[in-house]
Amino acid sequence: MTKTFTLKRQVEFNHCDMAGIVFYPRYFEMISSSIERFFADAMEFSWGEMRQTDGGMGTPMGSIDVRFRAPSRLGEWLEFTVFIKRLGTSSATFDLACASNDETRFTGSATVVYANTSTGKSAPWPNSLRSKMSTYLMSPTP
pTM for the structure as a whole: 0.92
Is 142 part of a structural domain of the chain?
no
Is 90 part of a structural domain of the chain?
yes
Instruction: Tell which wins on pLDDT, 28 or 3.
Output: 28
Res. 54 pLDDT band, cuts 50 70 90: confident
Res. 38 pLDDT band, cuts 50 70 90: very high
CATH of the domain at 84: 3.10.129.10
Res. 6 pLDDT band, cuts 50 70 90: very high
Is 114 part of a structural domain of the chain?
yes
Q: What is the pLDDT of residue 51?
A: 93
DSSP line for 81-125: EEEEEEE-SSEEEEEEEEEETTEEEEEEEEEEE-EETTT--B-PP
**Tens of pLDDT along 58-72?**
999 999 999 999 999
Is 31 part of a structural domain of the chain?
yes
The CA-atom distances, in angstroms, between 104 and each of 77, 80, 100 are: 12, 10, 7
Domain limits at 45?
5-134
Confidence check: pLDDT of 2 > 90: no
Is 17 part of a structural domain of the chain?
yes
Number of domains in the chain: 1
Average pLDDT over residues 20-34: 95
